[in-house]
Structure formats: C-alpha cells, structure tokens
Structure 1
Amino acid sequence: MWLLDKAPEPDILGARLPSRERVFLFFMYQHHVFKKTVPDSVSATSEKLKAIWGKAKLTTKTDANIRKNIKNLFKEYTKP
C-alpha cells in the first residue's frame, strides 16, 4: 500500500491545498493516535478540510461528499 511506511500527521500544513496523502495521514492520526472511531475521524478530517478551504475562499463540496471521499480513502487503504 502507498502509505505503509509513512507516519500519521497531527495537522494538515503547507502552502498549497492538501493532497489526498496529507488528508489521509491526518485522518490516520485522528484514528490511531487519538483512538477515535472511523466516523469521528472522518468528521474531524472533514472539519479541518472545510476550514482550510474556507481560508482559501474556495467553494466546498457538501459535507456528505467530503465524508464519502474520506471514507473511500480509508476503504482503499484497508482493502486486501
């Protein structure tokens, strides 16, 4: 898998909008370090993304679409 050797990240930082990788590493930090459930980790990641997009004054997807995309990343990661 593409992220097996990377450590989860406590924040999504950078001068650019976050990549899929950075979003997923933040999700994993919420899930493994804070021991949040998958839905709670998805919520925390979604809120963080909306805050970043808001600062950039970008229109965002609906919350349901953001959460769906994050869940799909997690499913991709856990797929055998």
Structure 2
Amino acid sequence: MWLLDKAPEPDILGARLPSREQVFLFFMYKHHVFKKTVPDSVSATSEKLKAIWGKAKLTTKPTRTLEELKNLFEESKP
C-alpha cells in the first residue's frame, strides 16, 4: 500500500477536516512509534478525530469510526 512508504505523523494538522491519509499516518504513529496495540492505537486516533470533529460541530458515530480504522489497518497488511 502506498501509505506504508510515508512516515507516520505525530499529529493531525491543518485547517480542514483530516483526510484518510492523515488519519492513517497518525494511527501508524501511535502503533509503531509508541508501540501501542492496534485497539489502543485505534482508540487514540478515534479520540483525536472526535476532538477535531467536535470543533467543527460534526456529530460522530464512535463505533463506525473504530471499525473504519481497523479495516483501513487490515487493508494495509501485505
């Protein structure tokens, strides 16, 4: 997967809502740099997204967010 060639990002930055790429790179940072488990990395990424989306006054569905992050990680495996 092309995202695996990029360096993990320690934060999700920008004036816009994050892209899938930004979310995945943040997840990978938590998973590989901090050596968190996949569920812990998903949870940390989900919390970060909820904070960003909350600032934009968007409602979220936590279970859907968690499922999508897990699926994105599973797709990235060789």
Name the structure 1 match of 2:74.
75
TM-score (norm 2): 0.88
Q: Which runs of 5+ in 2 are unaligned?
A: 62-66
The percent identity for this pair of structures is 90
Please tell me the root mean square deviation across aligned C-alpha atoms, in Å: 0.9
- Structure 1 position 2, deviation (Å): 1.6
TM-score (norm 1): 0.86
- Give 1 or 2: higher helix fraction: 2
Q: For each residue in 1:21-68, what CA deviation from the matched residue of structure 2 results, as whole angstroms up to 9, or x when unmatched? A: 00000000000000000000000000000000001111112xxxxxx0
Whole-Å Cα distance in 1 between the matches of residues 77 and 54 of structure 2? Answer: 32
Runs of 4+ with deviation above 2 angstroms: none
Q: Which runs of 5+ in 1 are unaligned?
A: 62-67
Aligned residues: 73
- Structure 1 position 5, deviation (Å): 1.8
